[in-house]
């Protein structure tokens, strides 16, 4: 192509020469996971102390067999933009971003395990529950990271065991900001951007009922689910997801809602006045009524000490749900058995 046709050619070749390549800086050691947006690799830095990193490579877009530029996904833009601004011990740290050959590589500090693996390890290998002090420590650190995000006006919107990491020293790190959003003065309401947020088992009732407005408290519901899962080693509300219909309408997630009211009982207007304004309210009314059985769920899980805490994170009314700040001050963390470091 003649220069007059592509005046940016000179610029690009200059940049291409300056830009370090991933393989100049890192030795790829192996493959960790493959997700919706791409793959995660384990890699060793070639510089300095040879530290281990996790490199998340966003899937490049393809047209047929040829990789082309089709525009960076909203999810990648979010994850990159938010990670560049934040820094906290309990949030996975982004070391650098390398843009190379139409692909984006995000280099993160390495965390040995995620919560999913910890849960699996206890249920399958050790066949014993996570001890109360460790469980409290994990929960506390998780809340500490979440408070940081919330104070920075970030809603995570995809908290679940696979997105919560833990280092070999037992430090909890919140990861995967691919669905996270700044909530400070949004130009359009949050629901307008993403029709579906939060993996179904961890999705708050107001989202299941089609709320058009929601806030940080959706993360606290997910935290409740994660803490319960750490206690019982299985998802507390394990519903079947109803698929989007052909017009991409989001159906009422009946089974998921049933799983919730199975344990927490049917939401009452007196505890959640806003419930009657929810778009799916009538669908919910049609479900069989149920009483709250959270205490007996906790007892049989050997988790009676966590009942008060769970009850408050599982408040149906988002405005009454425990906040991250209040959760950190909850007496559960002060009572015996006290949290330890792992």
Partner 1 sequence: MATDYWASSHYKRWIFDRATIKQARALDLQYVEDPEYIDFLGIFFANLISKLGKKLSMRQRAIATATVFFRRFYMKNAYCETDPFIVIAACCYVAAKAEEFPVHIKNVVTEARLLFANDEYGIKSFPSDNSKLAEMEFYLVDDLECDLIAFHPYRTLMTLCGREGSSVSHDTEAGELGAGVQDGPRYWGTGEGKLELQESALQMAWFIINDTYRSDLCLIYPPHLIAIAAIYLTLVFHESTHESLKSAQSWQYTPFLALKFKPS
Ligand X SMILES: Nc1ncnc2c1ncn2[C@@H]1O[C@H](COP(=O)(O)OP(=O)(O)O)[C@@H](O)[C@H]1O
Give the binding site for partner 1 (CB under 8 A): 4-5, 7-8, 10-12, 14-15, 19, 68-72, 74, 77, 80-82, 84-87, 97, 99, 102, 151-154, 181-182, 184-188, 193
Give yes or no: 158 in active site: yes
Residue 321: its H or E element: none
Between the alpha carbon of residue 171 and those of residues 110, 118, 145, 218, the distances in Å are: 11, 13, 11, 24
For residue 63 the two structure tokens come to 């047209």
Does 114 participate in binding ligand X (rule CB under 6 A)?
Answer: yes
145 touches 174 (CB < 8 A): yes
Does 176 participate in binding Mg ion (rule CB under 5 A)?
Answer: yes
- Selected binder of ligand X within 5, 17, 36, 125 (CB under 6 A): 36
In the list Mg ion, partner 1, ligand X, none, the entry touching 175 (Cβ below 5 to 8 angstroms by class) is ligand X
Q: In the chain, where does DSSP find H-type helix?
A: 9-18, 22-25, 74-85, 115-120, 132-151, 190-193, 205-208, 217-232, 254-264, 281-285, 294-300, 307-313, 324-328
Residue written as tokens 């089974």?
Answer: 255
Number of residues forming the site for Mg ion (CB under 5 A): 2
Residue 149 CA, distance from chain mean position:
12
Does 110 participate in binding ligand X (rule CB under 6 A)?
Answer: yes
Residue 276 CB, nearest approach to partner 1 (Å): 23
Residue 46 CB, nearest approach to partner 1 (Å): 21
Beta strands 164-166; 113-114: pairing state: antiparallel
For residue 147 the two structure tokens come to 């408070």
Among all residues, whose Cβ is closest to ligand X?
Answer: 35
In the list Mg ion, partner 1, ligand X, none, the entry touching 110 (Cβ below 5 to 8 angstroms by class) is ligand X
State which of positions 44-73 bind ligand X (CB under 6 A). 54, 56
Q: Cα(122)–Cα(129) distance, rounded to whole angstroms? A: 6
Q: Of 158, 245, 277, 317, which is the active-site residue?
A: 158
Residue 316 CB, nearest approach to Mg ion (Å): 27
Closest to partner 1 by CB, 169 vs 188, is 188
Residue 164 CB, nearest approach to ligand X (Å): 9
Beta bridge partners of 165: 114, 173
Does 168 participate in binding ligand X (rule CB under 6 A)?
Answer: no
Interface ranges with Mg ion (CB under 5 A): 163, 176
């Amino acid at each position: 192509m003649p220069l007059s046709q592509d005046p940016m050619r000179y610029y690009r070749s200059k940049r291409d020469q300056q830009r370090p390549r991933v393989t100049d800086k890192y030795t790829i050691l192996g493959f960790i996971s493959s997700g919706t947006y791409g793959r995660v690799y384990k890699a060793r830095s070639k510089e300095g102390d040879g530290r281990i990193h996790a490199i998340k490579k966003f899937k490049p877009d393809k047209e047929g067999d040829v990789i082309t530029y089709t525009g960076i996904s909203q999810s990648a833009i979010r994850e990159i933009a938010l990670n560049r601004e934040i820094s906290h011990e309990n949030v996975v740290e982004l070391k650098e971003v390398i843009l190379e050959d139409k692909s984006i590589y995000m280099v993160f500090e390495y965390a040995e395990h995620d919560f999913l693996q910890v849960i699996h390890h206890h249920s399958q290998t050790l066949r014993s529950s996570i001890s109360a002090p460790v469980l409290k420590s994990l929960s506390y650190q998780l809340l500490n990271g979440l408070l940081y995000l919330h104070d920075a006006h970030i809603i995570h919107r995809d908290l679940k065991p696979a997105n919560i990491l833990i280092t070999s020293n037992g430090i909890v790190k919140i990861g995967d900001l691919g669905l996270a959003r700044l909530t400070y003065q949004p130009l359009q309401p949050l629901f307008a951007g993403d029709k579906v947020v939060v993996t179904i088992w961890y999705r708050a009732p107001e989202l299941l009922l089609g709320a058009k407005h929601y806030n940080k408290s959706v993360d606290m519901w997910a935290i409740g689910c994660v803490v319960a899962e750490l206690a019982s080693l299985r998802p507390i509300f394990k519903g079947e997801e109803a698929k989007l219909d052909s017009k991409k309408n989001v159906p009422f997630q009946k089974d998921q809602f049933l799983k919730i009211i199975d344990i927490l009982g049917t939401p009452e207007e007196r505890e959640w006045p806003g419930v009657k304004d929810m778009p799916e309210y009538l669908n919910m009314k049609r479900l069989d009524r149920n009483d709250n059985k959270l205490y007996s769920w906790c007892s049989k899980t050997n988790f009676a000490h966590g009942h008060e805490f769970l009850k408050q994170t599982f408040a149906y009314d988002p405005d009454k749900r425990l906040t991250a700040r209040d959760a950190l001050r909850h007496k559960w963390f002060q009572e015996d058995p006290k949290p330890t470091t792992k």
